[in-house]
Amino acid sequence: MTPISGARRPYMSLFWSRINPRSKRATKQFTQSFSTFPLDPDTLGNLVLSKDVQEFHAIGGVTGLEEGLRTDVHSGLSLDETYLGAPANIAASTISTAPTEKTAISELPMSINLHRDAFVDRRKFFGDNRLPIKPSPSFLSLMWAAYNDHVLFLLTGAAIISLALGLYQTFGTKHTPDNPPVEWVEGVAILVAIVVITLAGAANDYQKECKFRKLNRKQQDRNVWVLRSARIHEVPISDVVVGDIVHISPGDIVPADGVLIRGHQVKCDESSATGESDPVDKTPIDTRPGGSREIDPFILSHTKIVEGVGAYLVLATGTKSSYGRILLSLDTDPGFTPLQVRLSNLAKNIAHFGALAALVLFVILFIKFCVGLRNSTESASEKGQSFLNVFILALTVVVIAVPEGLPLAVTLALSFATTRMMRDHNLVRQLRACETMGQATDICSDKTGTLTQNQMTVVSGFFGVTSQFTDRVSSPDILDEESTLSVAKCMNHLSSQSRSLLRQSIAINSTAIESRYGGGRQFLGSQTEAALLRFSQDYLELGQLEFDRASEEVVDVLPFDASRKYMITVVKMANGVYRSYVKGAPEILIEKCVATIAQPMQGLSTAPITEYGIEQIRQTIAQYASRSLRTIAICFRDVEELPSRDEEETVSFEDLMKEFTFLGILGLRDPLRADAWSAVDTSHKAGLTVRMVTGDNLLTARAIAEECGIINSPDDLVMEGDKFRALDESQQKELVPRLKVLARSRPDDKRVLVQRLKDLGRVVAVTGDGTNDAPALAVADIGFSMGISGTEIAREASSIVLMDDTFSSIVKAIMWGRAVSDAVKKFLQFQITITFTSVGLAFVSAVANSSQESVLTPVQLMWVNLFQDTLAALALATDPPPRRILDRKPEPTSTPLITPTMWKMIIGQSVYQMVVTLVLYFAGSSIFSYHGAFQTSQLQTAVFNTYVWMQIFNMYNNRQIERSFNLIEGIHHNWLFIAITCIMMGAQILIMFVGGRAFSITKLTGDQWAYSIILGAISIPQ
């Protein structure tokens, strides 16, 4: 299985590469059992939950688990395992789980994909590492949810009564040729309209469910490193099985329950399982029988590794794990976003307005109906039908006024944006981030991997106080060519002892691992450590990494941490001396140095380091930093006895941090991304302030910031983290508007910076990749984690994952965030215009008409309601953002949903549509000299036709919420808008020709068609 070379993980390869010789174990034959494994899943799951070390030793400790799970803690499971027979002794086997005679499989090629029968018996017995997925709602349940509205219930009841009366009139009364038996049609038409609206709403909800489920699955996809057949493999968490040896490192989220068998300084955040916020120390279980009982070696699934590196044996997976038993939180309902809540409240207010108008309309029409009964000559059934018509019209006004499309529009816009953002390498984990991103005012970005390429290369170096080199190919901008040697020449001048010490310092004190898949060699882990190992391979005669590490007896390790900014590995030399290899930030380690290699070209003789020597080193560091190089100091210290903590036998690293011998400084170049400058410049034009927060020193950070355009004014401020921390809150608030670069920062500095910006009313986006970035990602309005170089904890704390780790993807997220806001505003304009005009027209015309009939029949209003609530939402919510969307400043969070510009459009369109419709309705006969009943019926049809065409053309008006007359800008990128426009036009034409009695349609002439469409098109310039 080929590991992904880009993954940035601090893998402690001494756990994997160096396979210690197996201790001689007595052969212990298990009693023949009907079960493939002597240990059942429930027993193992309960063991982890109880954290009972005595029970652990009672089942045989690590040896008992090895035999009971048919695995090996040194080489892991076998890639050849498929079907298993009865338990057998595997102590003398070279692999832990050989296949039985049932299958004969040759040696597998290294591939990320397992064959179908891999670990089949193991999965069948212990289960796989999948949590049950919450079932999607069925289409029928979505239909019920769309229909489950009291207004639709009332309308359905009224339609059924109308249908019953219509059937009675159709079959129970006499008809003339001028009065055909079609009274039942209106009731059926209303029922059909209700069904269509319900189906459309359910279809949209179903599509939304499918899209979000797909996105959720993508969010949950992640890989872990396991040891199988004595080699490291990267596999999806769903492929982890009981008996696997899984590697853990800072930032990982534990994929399954287990017990720690190897590790250094491992601490877990178990708050998700126990509620305790303090990290819990994890101690490797003693592999010797009768080991200490006062330890906690148990690793719980879905907890977070906050510190240390190690390897653990998987004991429970999937539903048998502690997380699987407690919570299926990855499939919980994401809830509503703030914009959805605001729109829902607005929709309720509009619905209340419609309900009030409908109530008033019903009261007026009912009074008129009661007054008219005295002189009415209609039959009882006809009077009943007249009352039902009044009631249905009032209910239809309520249906028209209820803007179901508002929540639907924002849901569709968010769904569409999140899907399209995936193409732009943005994986949205929290929907609220989609809309918040459009209001962002500040971006606090990392440097490495986001603004730069995260492809480190050693290009300069400084050893002792005399030897210096620069790679002129990678660094053509060197300042002094005569005083520096090429890399190869400098390395050849070093003595063999100096090269050996430098090689060991890099190879041993590292968490990177070596991969040799595909015939080549590559180093996996942090880019800084991989660059150092490539340097050792090219110039220091580094052979196979595991051989160098296997020759050393590692005593303890203090992994690199962003707050410490250094790493220590302690080894025991052959002569009994303990040597500490140290690497880290030069400004920290230089202060701890008391000696240096006097003549690295001749040997390892040391000399006290002088003030002049320290000043030389500092000048070299400043020179490297001015060339945008990351500097790493390498030191060591030899002691006869290791200092230990008072009550524990562990190494006291605090006491080791002194009296170092300086070995050298290495300068690493991480080239700026090609699109970094343009992305930062685009952000500035969009009204965003870009700030860089980095662990690099001040000069390096300034050089990078100037190179990518973050610093563009003499007033811009560059500050180190310790000085920022020394300020009080008021001083920090005063400085942060001008602060563009925060160098040598600690993780908490980023969180404080974000909090101060938020206190000033800014909307802040933050990027982060490490475990310690999680607090800043969580407190930010929008947290961007790194999909390639980020840790699992960072991704869990973030709201959006940058799948390509680039700053330009953040700019694309801003575009889509603004597009979501624009889509909602577009639909809001359209929706409110239709609501005002439909309710107003129905009210005025019904009250003014002697027969109490509306200018638009209930069925016609239902058709308008269908495309205002569903079709228009689809069309207007799916416009991709134009590039010029970044030319405007971000909107404040206090901006109302309906801006003054929008109100102008709504009022202008409403007035125009109502005037045209009412003039045609009341004065059309006079204007066009219509006298007969047929021409009057044509006029009524033309009024309906004109009104619908005004809505279709008004959709084009609403594609622009800015002052732009180019209404078809970018329309070719939105095929859905074009398709829905064609559907609306086609459906309207179809209704006009075959709608008949159901839609109260009379065939129109060419002239009538012409003025209907022309009057509709005139709405565009409004």
Find the CATH number of the domain harbouring 510: 3.40.1110.10
Is residue 107 predicted with pLDDT exceeding 90?
no
655 and 509 fall within a common domain: yes
Note whether 882 and 974 are same-domain residues.
yes
Report which DSSP code applies to 3: P
| Strand ranges for 113-252 from DSSP E | 223-228, 231-236, 245-248
Sign of the torsion formed by the C-alpha atoms of 7, 9, 14 and 15 = negative
Task: Please name the amino acid found at residue 268.
Answer: C
Is 240 inside any structural domain? no
Q: Helix, strand, coil: what percent of the chain each, to 5?
A: 50, 15, 35
The pLDDT tens digits of the residues spanning 748-767 come to 888 899 999 999 989 999 98
Out of 19-23, 111-115, 875-879, give the one with best mean pLDDT: 875-879
pLDDT given at position 1:
34
- Catalytic member of 80, 121, 252, 446: 446
Determine, yes or no, domain membership for 752. yes
Point out the domain boundary residue: 805, 832, 851.
805
Domain annotation covers residue 315 = no
| Bigger pLDDT: 106 vs 1018 | 1018
Q: What percent of the chain has pLDDT over 90?
A: 19
Question: Residue 21's pLDDT is what?
Answer: 34
Residue 133 located in a structural domain: no
**Domain CATH for 780:** 3.40.50.1000
- Residue 651 structural domain: 457-669
Query: What are the phi and psi torsion angles at 283 (to 5°)?
Result: -110, 130
| Residue 850 is assigned to a structural domain of this protein | yes
E strands of 254-388, at which residues? 257-269, 280-282, 298-299, 304-316
pLDDT tens digits, residue range 39-88? 888 888 888 888 888 888 888 888 888 888 989 988 889 888 887 765 44
Residue 28, domain member (yes or no): no
pLDDT at res. 27: 32
Q: Which region among 185-194, 233-242, 258-267, 707-716 has the lowest average model confidence (pLDDT)?
A: 185-194
Element (H, E) at 916: helix 900-928
Mean pLDDT of the chain: 79
Residue 889 DSSP symbol: P
Asked if residue 556 and residue 516 are part of one domain, the reply reads yes
Residue 787: the pLDDT is 79
583 three-state secondary structure? strand
- Residue type, position 64, single letter: G
Query: Considering only 556-565, 607-616, 707-716, 723-732, which range has the smallest mean pLDDT?
Result: 556-565
483 and 499 share a domain?
yes
Cβ atoms within 10 Å of 244's Cβ, excluding its own = 28
Please tell me the predicted confidence (pLDDT) of residue 106: 30
Q: What does the pLDDT read at residue 477?
A: 52
Residues 508 and 585 in one domain: yes
Encode pLDDT of 401-451 as tens digits. Answer: 766 566 666 767 777 787 788 888 888 877 778 878 888 999 998 887 788
Q: Are 792 and 822 contained in the same domain?
A: no
Q: What is the pLDDT of residue 5?
A: 35
Report the range out of 522-531, 623-632, 752-761, 966-975 with the highest average pLDDT: 752-761
Answer whether residue 323 shows pLDDT above 90.
no
Question: Do residue 663 and residue 684 come from a single domain?
Answer: no
**Domain count across the chain:** 3
Q: Are 750 and 734 in contact (CB under 8 A)?
A: no
* Amino acid (1-letter code) at residue 123: R
The pLDDT, as a whole number, for residue 754 is 92
Residue pLDDT, tens place only, 224-282: 888 888 888 888 888 899 999 998 888 788 889 999 998 888 888 887 666 566 788 88
The pair of three-digit structure tokens given for residue 649, joined into one six-digit string: 């036998």
Q: Tens digit of pLDDT for each residue in 458-474?
A: 999 888 756 778 876 55
Amino acid at 717: L
Q: Are residues 948 and 830 in the same domain?
A: yes
More confident residue, 460 or 972: 460
Residue 136 lies in a domain: no
Instruction: Write the DSSP assignment of 91-139 as a string of letters.
Output: TT-SSS----TT---PPPP--SSPPTTTTHHHHHHH--S-PPPPPPPPH
Q: Per-residue confidence at 285, pLDDT binned at 50, 70, 90?
A: confident
483 and 441 assigned to the same domain: no
pLDDT of residue 487: 81
d(CA 402, CA 500): 79
> Is 543 part of any domain?
yes
Rounded CA-CA distance 828/350 in Å is: 11
> Is residue 759 helix, strand or coil?
helix
> Does residue 887 carry a catalytic annotation?
no
Please name the amino acid found at residue 885: I
Residues 778 and 822 in one domain: no
Query: End of a domain among 617, 636, 669?
Result: 669
pLDDT above 70 as % of the chain: 80
> Which of 228, 322, 310, 227 has the alpha carbon at shortest distance from 268?
310
| Same domain flag for 600 and 717 | no
Angstrom distance (rounded) from CA 223 to CA 218? 12
- Cα separation, 281 vs 712, in Å, equals 46
Residues 6+ apart with CB under 8 A from 116: none
Last residue of a domain, one of 756, 783, 805: 805
Domain of 955, CATH number, reads 1.20.1110.10
Q: Which amino acid is at 955?
A: M
Contact 794, 770 (CB under 8 A): yes
Tens digit of each residue's pLDDT (9 = 90 or more) over 927-959: 888 888 888 889 989 999 999 999 999 888 888
The pTM for the full model equals 0.69
Question: Beta strand pairing status for 764-768 and 782-786?
Answer: parallel
Amino acid found at 895: T
653 and 705 part of one domain? no
